[in-house]
Amino acid sequence: MPLIGAVADDLTGATTTGVLLARSKARTAVFFNEEAAENAKEIEELDAVLISSNSRALPESEAYAKVKSATISLKKMGIRYFSKRIDTTLRGSIGIEIDAILDQFSCDMVAVVVPAMPQSRRILVGGYSVIDGVALINTPVAQDVRTPVRENYIPRLLGIQTRRKVGLVTLDKVLEGKDSIQEALQKKRDEKCQVIIVDGITLEDVDNIAQACIELKWNIVAVDPGPFTAKLAYRRGQTQEEEPNLPPEARETGKTVLIAAGSATPITKKQMEVLCEDTRHVRISVDPNPLIEGGNTALDEVFKAVNKAVELIEGDEQPRAVLFETALHKKLLNLEKEDEKRGYAGGMSANRINAGLGTIISQVLEQVGRKKVAGLYTTGGDTMVNVCYQLGVECIEVIDYVIPQTDVGRLSGKYAGLPIVGKGGLTGNNNTACDIVERLFREAAR
């Protein structure tokens, strides 16, 4: 019976938290919505359940409703310990979603917000978010097409969003250790704060915060990108020490990795350029304009890419990886303007592009068969959702990560057991795409 439950605002966020639990020997599954979780077979064999509300880019009222519904589903399953998984770059309506969870419990429930993910060089100092040594508002996320973040002081960011009083425990208290943290948390609670943000720069800091919360015996919702949730589980004795779940060394066996690159960040672009320096890796550029247009125009573009990939995979020199991308080969489209030009609802152009990539992956798999595919690699949460939707997948059992926020799992459904790696667009170094392809070949040999 699962005791740990979390609501994440997107799928890749859910897998990021999930793999930290899986690496600590908790059997963990990520579900695409609450209906899939409620209808899942063998749910009692799991230790942790994570549900994606897919709410990051939604209007506040819709985000609230989605998170409320997911929380109610987790309560019905008998979940005892709750988390709200947040983006490491603080995108979305975090305060609204915290309210959506807290409103489902008694008034003594407290949200402890620990935004630090030191494994990915995401830290909080004096309430200010710093990403890989750069202030949050000076990173590319500040210009994110759908969910830009323009406030760097997190107590102010959340204070605007939540109905509850927000407090901050600063780094000086954290560095003094768990007793000092415990006193500082209690002081904020005495001040009637129900959302308490805590600074942190190392995993030791996060661990000390977790120990302080457990010793206080509070009824809490952990609000974090994953490490705080994982440390709480460990300190409660629900999990073991975190360690990799590595498969055997890779064996080249006439298989191809299929890659759907939905992220358009400079980091992703460079990673794919390095990947394609190896002539065994083939790039197929897909024009996003027909995908946005929809209908037969979109299908023509989709099957042009599908036919080319199938020809390559079934040819004499089968590629080791095939990359499908819509935004790495020429000037980026302004998707907001594309929506306005066509009279679309906000985000529809992006959704149609990702749906096109999902259809391409699905059709290639259908035509060449699973035996010729080592695994799937997606960049961007919306891309991963669309790929899995087209494949009829509603659940991923998470296993491990290649690097933090680059998560390895296995599909359920028609392609049960097929390895998949999902990576955020801002994650990794120049060689990360190559490392992911290598890992998928290893997973195919498991």
- Does residue 64 fall inside a structural domain? yes
Same domain, 109 and 231: yes
pTM above 0.85, yes or no: yes
Residue 203 pLDDT more than 90?
yes
pLDDT single digits (tens) 204-242 = 999 999 999 999 999 999 999 999 999 999 999 999 999
Which residue type occupies 142? A
Same domain, 408 and 267: yes
Task: Name the residue among 194, 81, 156 with its Cα closest to residue 185.
Answer: 194
pLDDT of residue 252: 67
pLDDT of residue 61: 97
Task: Name the residue among 200, 275, 255 with its Cα closest to residue 231.
Answer: 200
- Does residue 320 fall inside a structural domain? yes
Same domain, 272 and 173: no
Q: How far apart are CA 95 and CA 158, in angstroms?
A: 5
Coil/strand/helix, residue 351 = helix
pLDDT single digits (tens) 124-151 = 999 999 999 999 999 988 877 778 999 9
pLDDT single digits (tens) 14-54 = 999 999 999 999 999 999 999 999 999 889 999 999 999 99
- Does residue 248 fall inside a structural domain? no
Same domain, 221 and 270: no
Range of the domain at 174: 4-235
- Does residue 240 fall inside a structural domain? no
Same domain, 85 and 209: yes
Same domain, 383 and 423: yes
pLDDT single digits (tens) 345-395 = 988 998 999 999 999 999 999 999 999 999 999 998 789 999 999 999 989
- What is the CA angle 10-407-58, rounded to 5? 10
Residue 265 pLDDT more than 90?
no
Same domain, 269 and 362: yes
Helices first, then strands: H and E counts in the chain: 16, 18
Same domain, 261 and 155: no
Q: Could you give the number of structural domains in the chain?
A: 2
pLDDT of residue 253: 77
- Does residue 177 fall inside a structural domain? yes
| CATH number reported for the structural domain that contains residue 43 in this entry | 3.40.50.10840
Q: How far apart are CA 158 and CA 195, in angstroms?
A: 9
Same domain, 302 and 187: no
pLDDT single digits (tens) 399-423 = 999 999 899 999 999 999 999 999 8
- Does residue 78 fall inside a structural domain? yes
- Does residue 241 fall inside a structural domain? no
Same domain, 170 and 86: yes
Give the number of other Cβ atoms within 10 Å of residue 334's Cβ.
12
Query: What are the E-state strand segments in 308-359?
Result: 321-325
- Does residue 243 fall inside a structural domain? no
Same domain, 222 and 354: no
Same domain, 113 and 192: yes
Which of 235, 270, 287 is where one domain is finished?
A: 235
Beta strands at 195-198 and 81-85: parallel, antiparallel or unpaired: unpaired
pLDDT single digits (tens) 140-181 = 888 777 789 999 999 999 999 999 999 999 999 999 999 999
